[in-house]
Each structure stands twice: as structure tokens, then as C-alpha cells.
């Protein structure tokens, strides 16, 4: 009986990850792709996306849910990359320059986001999502109208022919895969981007260390119960703002790492789905709105991206059209987010009911005792 209950609990707690694992395993064979190819793609995408997904952890610790406002950081990163291309900065220096230029912008964006989210406590996720739309408008205004007219742009190759505004697509040849190829190591049929993995490992180390600091402990206290933390003297609003600022800055660096791997940048919509895919990945990895760990990030990135790799092939084979697989990606992304949120709400409700019943039972027992 107890084993059955434990198994049921395991299934409930890992429903998303198990469902995803089953769909992925089933899709591998019809895709017709070799395991070596899938493995290499997974390694590449692990380097490309992990940093962005790790940026989501701190706001979850602080009880702010999934930070859809990380798109603000992604936009700041893109601004830095535009500047690096504008000044023709190459290699790792180009990436560092982009990060240095975008850092003040992302700090400001993170602060704005944190202040706004503090005014919408309990509705952080949807507020972050809408805030990203608003700041997207500001970004479009800056990049489409101010760059080249107010903000000087010296490279004519990136400016629209009308004389101001940045072109739709930027070629990042100067910084393309510089981090990935800096310390590339071949192990059997696989090429490992060691430098990228080291950067990701450093971030993991930072997160583990940060959780042990006073600020990290404050963040967890705020995430556990804001009112209790406030009563204990933790500056709740300030702590939440710091969590969002760090997340935004990490998203900035993550977007730079992501785009250097891609090698080109869709100036006006590269950031559109940054938060969406990062959130989908961490949820697939077994995280929830309230709880996430570093292993969730890596499991999620691997699973989500393996499915992304195999789904076009599987769609072609099963339905005779590769586009079905492409639609499948979107469907899976949104579906996973929806399923996770529904499961989370269902679990919270059950937990509340269980506690209520426990209290009633306790009260009844006390009453009976009297």
C-alpha cells in the first residue's frame, strides 16, 4: 500500500519530465537521426542554452516564480552585441566588450523590472511577460530609430540604407562561436565546447555559493514566506529587486553566449522567445514555479532540445510533412508551460486541502480529547 502510494506520488511529482521523456524516446526512432548526431546536437545546445536557463533560478528561490522578464536582459545583451559589431570587435574580446557595454543597461532594466514586480506581488509571471512586451517597444524604438540618428553608428554595413536604424539581421562573424571553439575538445565522435562549459560551471558554482551567503539565505526566506521574512527583519522588496537584477544580468550574458553560438542575430525578434524556451526547459527538467535546482536546468535543456532536434524528422516520417514537427515544437513549448502551471496549481490546492483536513482532524482530536 505504502509502495503504491510512493509510486503514485513519484508519478505526480515528475509527471512533466516523465511525459516528456516518453514522447522524446518515442520520437527518436521515426526521426531517422543517428544517436551520434543527436548526442552532438545535445552537447551544442547544452552549451548554448544552459546559461540562459540558469538565470531563472534566483527569482524562483526568491519566490518570484519564472522570470519572464529575463527578455529585458536578452535585449540588453543584443544591444551590446550590436555595439561590438558596430566597432568591429572580434573574438572573445568582442564578447567581453558586448557584455561590458550591456551590463549597465541590464542593471537598469533589472532594477525597473524588480520595482515593477514588487508592485505586482503574487502576479510576477504575467507582469514580467507584459513588461517584456513594453520594453520590447522601447528596444525597437532605440534600435530602429535612435541608432544611426542619435546614437552614432559607424559601420555602414549594419545600418539600413535610409541612414538610421539597424538591419533586420546582423552577421556576427567576428564573434561567431569564439567561446565554443576556444577550448574545443574532441572525445570520440563528439566535440565538447570546454570553454563554454567552464563558464556554465562557474555560474553553477556562483549559484551554489550565493545560496549560502546572507543575501542568498534572505532570498530563500523571502521565497518561503514574505511576511515571516519581513517580520524577521529581511528587507523583502530590496531582496526581490536584487534577485531580479542578478537574473537580468545573467540573462544578458546568456543571450550573448546564445547568439555567439548561432552566429547571426535577428535584431528585432531574437529575444522574443528567449524567456519562453528557457522557462519551458526548466519546467521540462522537473522544476516548478516554487522549486528549482541546477540539475533541473540540465535535464530540461537536454530533454527539450533532443525533442526539438528529432521532432521535424519524426513529423516528416509520421505525417509526411516536416512542418508538422516545427509546429510540434511550439505546441510542446506552450504545452509544457501550461501543463506545469496546471499541475502546480492542482498540487498547491491538494496541499492546502490536506493541511485544512489535518487541522480539522487535529481540532477534532483535541475536541474529542476534551
Closest CA relative to residue 241, chosen from 217, 222, 214: 222
Nearest distance in Å: CB 240, other proteins: 17
As given in the structure block, the three cell numbers for residue 122 are 503574487
Torsion over CA: 284, 288, 289, 295 (sign):
negative
Judged by CB under 8 A, the residue of 121, 167, 220, 347 near other proteins is 167
Q: Per CB under 8 A, does 232 bind other proteins? A: no
Q: Which of the ranges 62-70, 155-163, 248-256, 320-328 carries the binding residues for other proteins, by CB under 8 A?
A: 155-163
Q: Per CB under 8 A, does 214 bind other proteins? A: no
- The Cα–Cα gap between 37 and 190 comes to 9
Closest CA relative to residue 23, chosen from 318, 347, 341: 318
Nearest distance in Å: CB 141, other proteins: 13
Q: Per CB under 8 A, does 160 bind other proteins? A: yes
Judged by CB under 8 A, the residue of 60, 101, 281, 314 near other proteins is 101
Q: Per CB under 8 A, does 91 bind other proteins? A: yes
As given in the structure block, the three cell numbers for residue 326 are 516545427
* Inter-residue contact 117 to 244 (CB < 8 Å): yes
* Inter-residue contact 271 to 255 (CB < 8 Å): yes
Q: How many residues bind other proteins (CB under 8 A)?
A: 21
Nearest distance in Å: CB 210, other proteins: 21
* Residue closer to other proteins (CB basis): 144 or 204: 144
Q: Which of the ranges 51-59, 165-173, 203-211, 307-315 carries the binding residues for other proteins, by CB under 8 A?
A: 165-173
Closest CA relative to residue 66, chosen from 131, 129, 15: 129
* Inter-residue contact 99 to 256 (CB < 8 Å): yes
- The Cα–Cα gap between 258 and 50 comes to 9
Q: Per CB under 8 A, does 168 bind other proteins? A: yes
> Grid coordinates 522567445 are at which residue?
273
Q: Give the N- to C-terminal CA distance of the chain in Å, as an integer.
A: 33
Q: Per CB under 8 A, does 88 bind other proteins? A: yes
Q: In the window 301-320, what residues touch other proteins (CB under 8 A)?
A: none
DSSP state of 147: B
Q: Per CB under 8 A, does 39 bind other proteins? A: no
Q: Per CB under 8 A, does 93 bind other proteins? A: yes
Q: Per CB under 8 A, does 234 bind other proteins? A: no
Nearest distance in Å: CB 166, other proteins: 9
The phi and psi torsions of 187 (rounded to 5 degrees) equal -125, 105
Q: Which of the ranges 162-170, 179-187, 323-331, 347-355 carries the binding residues for other proteins, by CB under 8 A?
A: 162-170
Q: Per CB under 8 A, does 2 bind other proteins? A: no
Nearest distance in Å: CB 162, other proteins: 6
Q: Output the CA torsion 146→147→149→154 (10° steps).
A: 170
* Residue closer to other proteins (CB basis): 101 or 125: 101
* Residue closer to other proteins (CB basis): 154 or 350: 154
- The Cα–Cα gap between 237 and 88 comes to 41
Judged by CB under 8 A, the residue of 69, 165, 313, 333 near other proteins is 165
Q: Per CB under 8 A, does 143 bind other proteins? A: no
Q: Per CB under 8 A, does 290 bind other proteins? A: no
Q: Per CB under 8 A, does 89 bind other proteins? A: yes
User: Going by C-beta distance under 8 Å and a sequence separation of 6 or more, which residues neighbour residue 345?
Assistant: none
* Inter-residue contact 48 to 318 (CB < 8 Å): no
Amino acid at each position: 500500500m505504502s509502495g503504491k502510494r510512493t509510486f503514485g506520488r513519484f508519478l505526480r511529482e515528475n509527471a512533466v519530465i516523465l511525459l516528456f521523456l516518453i514522447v522524446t524516446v518515442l520520437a527518436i526512432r521515426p526521426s531517422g537521426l543517428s544517436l551520434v548526431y543527436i548526442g552532438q546536437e545535445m552537447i551544442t545546445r547544452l552549451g548554448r542554452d544552459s546559461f540562459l536557463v540558469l538565470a531563472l533560478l534566483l527569482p524562483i528561490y526568491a519566490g518570484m516564480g519564472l522570470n519572464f522578464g529575463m527578455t529585458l536582459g536578452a535585449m540588453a545583451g543584443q544591444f551590446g552585441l550590436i555595439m561590438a559589431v558596430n566597432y568591429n570587435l572580434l573574438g572573445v574580446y568582442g564578447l567581453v566588450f558586448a557584455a561590458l557595454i550591456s551590463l549597465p543597461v541590464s542593471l537598469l532594466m533589472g532594477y525597473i523590472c524588480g520595482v515593477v514586480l514588487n508592485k505586482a506581488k503574487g502576479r510576477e509571471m504575467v507582469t514580467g511577460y507584459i513588461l517584456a512586451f513594453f520594453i520590447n517597444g522601447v528596444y525597437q524604438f532605440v534600435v530602429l530609430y535612435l541608432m544611426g540618428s542619435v546614437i552614432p553608428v559607424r559601420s555602414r554595413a549594419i545600418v539600413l540604407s535610409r541612414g538610421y536604424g539597424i538591419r533586420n539581421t546582423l552577421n556576427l562573424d567576428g564573434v561567431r562561436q569564439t567561446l565554443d571553439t576556444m577550448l574545443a575538445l574532441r572525445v570520440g565522435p563528439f566535440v565538447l565546447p570546454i570553454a563554454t562549459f567552464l563558464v556554465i560551471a562557474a555560474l553553477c558554482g556562483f549559484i551554489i555559493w550565493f545560496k549560502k551567503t546572507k543575501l542568498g539565505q534572505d532570498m530563500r526566506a523571502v521565497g518561503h514566506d514574505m511576511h515571516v521574512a519581513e517580520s524577521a527583519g529581511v528587507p523583502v522588496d530590496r531582496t526581490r529587486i536584487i534577485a531580479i537584477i542578478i537574473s537580468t544580468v545573467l540573462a544578458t550574458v546568456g543571450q550573448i553566449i546564445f547568439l555567439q553560438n548561432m552566429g547571426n542575430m535577428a535584431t528585432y525578434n531574437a529575444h522574443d522567445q528567449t524567456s519562453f524556451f528557457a522557462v519551458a526547459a526548466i519546467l521540462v527538467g522537473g522544476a516548478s514555479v516554487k522549486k528549482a535546482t541546477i540539475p533541473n536546468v540540465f535535464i530540461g535543456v537536454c530533454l527539450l532540445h533532443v525533442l526539438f532536434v528529432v521532432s521535424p524528422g519524426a513529423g516528416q516520417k509520421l505525417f509526411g510533412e516536416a512542418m508538422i514537427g516545427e509546429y510540434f515544437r511550439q505546441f510542446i513549448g506552450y504545452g509544457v508551460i501550461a501543463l506545469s502551471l496546471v499541475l502546480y496549481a492542482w498540487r498547491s490546492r491538494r496541499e492546502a486541502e490536506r493541511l485544512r483536513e489535518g487541522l480539522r482532524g487535529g481540532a477534532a482530536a483535541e475536541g474529542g480529547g476534551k
